[in-house]
Amino acid sequence: MNRPTNRPTGHDVILALNAGSSSLKFVVFAAQDGDSALAEGLVDRIGSDAASIRLRDGAGADLPVAEGRPADHAAALQLALDSLSAALPDARVVAVGHRVVHGGTTFRGPVIVDEPVMAQIEALRPFAPLHQPHNIAGIRAAMAAFPGVPQIACFDTAFHRTHPWVNDTFALPSSFYDEGVRRYGFHGLSYDYITSELHRIAPLIAAGRVVIAHLGNGASMCAVQNGRSVASTMGFTALDGLPMGTRSGQLDPGVVLYLMDQRGMTTAEVRRLLYEKSGLLGLSGGLSNDMRTLESAATPEAQQAIDYFVFRIQRELGAMAAAMGGIDALVFCGGIGENSRLIRARVCERTEWMGLEIDHGRNDRNETIISSDVSRGHVMVIPTNEGLVIARAARDLLNLGGSTT
């Protein structure tokens, strides 16, 4: 892929990056318009001998990739660019957009990155120790690969800055709130996309009380009223709320004190336990953090992991509805929410009291609307698209034209 010339052309593209701890997702969109990706891929297991890359075109067909075992995010980005150069030889990158997990209280929307902005993003490392360093590494790698090309930071926390104070604070002395110890909420880019998509396909539903369930290796739920986030299951960190692939989710803070005081565990050991060894992986006896594996397994531990995951979703669904005084629609998204017919059916087994009932045939067919004809509220499945939210933000900030909503 090439750097841009001064004259915009039909070959100008936006590169959207999502840097994880050991992965780099990348999506390419036309710079001026279009919601369909031109190409997308994933560099996985960065830093290991098992590192790999996958690349697909806009229709989902696999494309040839460059060979390499990237040791860090800079090398992973170069591998992605080498692969994209063959797939899109005439493409010129005019902007690079980045998912940044934590924006603190400062960033309420996307921004063009300069050194002062980078300093603020760097200062938020302690608030998101598992994610922020890798987001920063992705930005630095893109700056080096495309000097002079605008870098756009899009924050997962920004969508939730509309929370009322009671859903934004903890019952701690107010000085902690003032220094940033508060509920931030995450997965905001996903919720932003689902909300905009609802406005497009079902404006009456979008204007009501919607609970969005982003269920994947990272999982959370958000209460959205008239398009605005009013509550989220995730709080100070992306560790709170629902159980996830390897993260514990909601936990009595006394457990952490016990682990440190009675078990003698260090901060690093507790962090690793809660972030990397818990959730579905821990509940299944170490079998897997992948819901597909758990659904196909016949072990009691796998079933218990699924049961707990479903129970916590049902419990949080009630809490999200209570925050809005009711519910008009439930929307599933994320890898599990979009693909697991079993989880959706299990979650909706105990939602009739809320006026939600699914049609099992529609659910099995993965239709967009899976609620039954007699359901008072809607149950929907909408695939999320965080990359498109990033591309739209870049178009908007840089006045590139085309759709920005």
Catalytic residues, by residue number, are: 156
Tokens linked to 398: 């840089």
**Could you tell me if 29 and 1 are in contact, meaning their C-beta atoms sit under 8 angstroms apart?**
no
**Could you tell me if 344 and 317 are in contact, meaning their C-beta atoms sit under 8 angstroms apart?**
no
Classify strands 378-381 and 220-225 as parallel, antiparallel or unpaired.
unpaired
Give 17's strand partners.
26, 98
Classify strands 378-381 and 24-30 as parallel, antiparallel or unpaired.
unpaired
Give 151's strand partners.
96
